[in-house]
Amino acid sequence: MTKAGFIGTGNMGNPMARNLISAGVELVVTDVRREAVANLIELGATWADTPKEVAAEASVVFTSLPGPRQIDEVALAETGIYAGAKPGTVHVDLSSNSLAGVKRLAAMAAQRGIGFLDAPVSGGTTGATNATLAIMVGGDKASFEAVKPLFDMIGQNVFHLGEVGAGTIHKLTNNMLALGQTLLLQEVMVMGKKAGFDPKGMHDVWAVSSGRGQAALMPGVLKRNWDNPFFSLALSAKDIGLCLEAARDLDVPMPVAQAVGQWYTRSLVRGRGNQSWFATLATIEEDAGVNVGTWPEEA
């Protein structure tokens, strides 16, 4: 069985690492917070003080980190992955990264004889816990085939989509689609409420009309259980920014997506970064001067 490394054991990384251990993988781990790996150590993982030490021991190194800055630090620092990895090691970045960032890392890895896969995931903490994630992979076929058995331990839908960057493009566009449609739903809910209509009544109409797909989100949004989220508004805003950055690199105008980004920025300024991405509703409500209310418990 391959010895693997895992760096970044937060809300998403920890359950993915647990599933690898449960499947029999010998795992070496590190995180900026020692307490974030305590349960993994109890399950049999080995602690390493630095990413360099993780890479020295493992043939596959997974990273699951907040964003491009943290990924670059973990990979490229003097105590980073690329300083310790042997030729033939594969670095698998499960994070939502930038298109330019993953291509740069792949080029730097190749100079050292290291394989690189950008493999962002979707499915939230529930998917990470249940090993049902969608995993969107970019990189060379040989590296993908080498890591595929490990992917199957943490995800149910594993896609090899092309060269490095392919996984990142699919993840960023997926998130933009989900975040944008939810925001539009919130705007029309606020509009309908201000016009004097009950959101449950609007839902009943939309649910049997062409808006049914979006209307299905209403109960979750209007429960207003926005604290301790599986995906924060701050991380959502980060992914929107990365998507817009990739669009600029590809010379693709995205004015609607830019408008989506503005709502997320407004919500961050109002202190909602640590809440769920559904909390953009509160920002729209404030600007419109109306409160949509909550989903009825009996519904």
Q: 271: domain CATH number?
A: 1.10.1040.10
pLDDT in tens, 135-149: 999 999 999 999 999
The mean pLDDT value of the chain amounts to 95
Q: What share of the chain in percent tops pLDDT 90?
A: 95
pLDDT at 1: 57
The answer as to whether 297 is a domain residue is no
Domain boundary (132, 163, 194) is at 163
Same structural domain, 155 and 60: yes
Same structural domain, 87 and 61: yes
Same structural domain, 260 and 276: yes
The answer as to whether 72 is a domain residue is yes
Please check whether residue 85 is in contact with residue 61, taking contact to mean a CB–CB distance below 8 angstroms: yes
Residue 123, phi-psi category: left (phi > 0), alpha (psi -120 to 50), beta (remainder): left
The answer as to whether 257 is a domain residue is yes
101, two tokens: 């960032």
Q: What share of the chain in percent tops pLDDT 70?
A: 99
Give me the mean pLDDT over the 114-140 stretch.
96
The answer as to whether 252 is a domain residue is yes
Phi, psi of 199, deg, nearest 5: -65, -35
Same structural domain, 109 and 62: yes
State the catalytic residues: 171
The answer as to whether 294 is a domain residue is no
pLDDT in tens, 207-263: 999 999 999 999 999 999 999 888 899 999 999 999 999 999 999 999 999 999 999
Same structural domain, 147 and 59: yes
pLDDT in tens, 10-50: 989 999 999 999 999 999 999 999 999 999 999 999 999 99
The string of DSSP codes covering the chain is --EEEEE--STTHHHHHHHHHHTT-EEEEE-SSGGGGHHHHHTT-EE-SSHHHHHHH-SEEEE--SSHHHHHHHHHSTTSHHHHPPTT-EEEE-S---HHHHHHHHHHHHHTT-EEEE--EESHHHHHHHT-EEEEEES-HHHHHHHHHHHHHHEEEEEEEESTTHHHHHHHHHHHHHHHHHHHHHHHHHHHHHTT--HHHHHHHHTTSTTHHHHTTHHHHHT---SS-SSBHHHHHHHHHHHHHHHHHTT---HHHHHHHHHHHHHHHTT-TTSBGGGHHHHHHHHHT-------TT-
The answer as to whether 123 is a domain residue is yes
Same structural domain, 131 and 27: yes
The answer as to whether 274 is a domain residue is yes
> 109: pLDDT confidence band, cut at 50, 70 and 90?
very high
pLDDT at 299 over 70: no
Identify the CATH number of the domain in which residue 99 sits. 3.40.50.720
Reference 225, options 189, 164, 275; nearest CA is: 275
Predicted model pTM: 0.93
Same structural domain, 181 and 110: no
Same structural domain, 158 and 175: no
pLDDT at 228: 81
pLDDT at 290: 97
What is the rounded CA–CA span in Å between residue 208 and residue 197? 17
pLDDT at 172 over 70: yes
Domain span at residue 35 reads 3-163
Same structural domain, 68 and 185: no
pLDDT at 232: 92
Same structural domain, 147 and 239: no
Same structural domain, 47 and 141: yes
Please give the tally of structural domains in the chain. Answer: 2
Same structural domain, 102 and 246: no
Domain boundary (123, 142, 163) is at 163
Per mean pLDDT, which range of 60-64, 164-168, 229-233, 254-258 is the poorest? 229-233
pLDDT in tens, 173-194: 999 999 999 999 999 999 999 9
Residue 139, phi-psi category: left (phi > 0), alpha (psi -120 to 50), beta (remainder): left
Domain boundary (130, 163, 196) is at 163
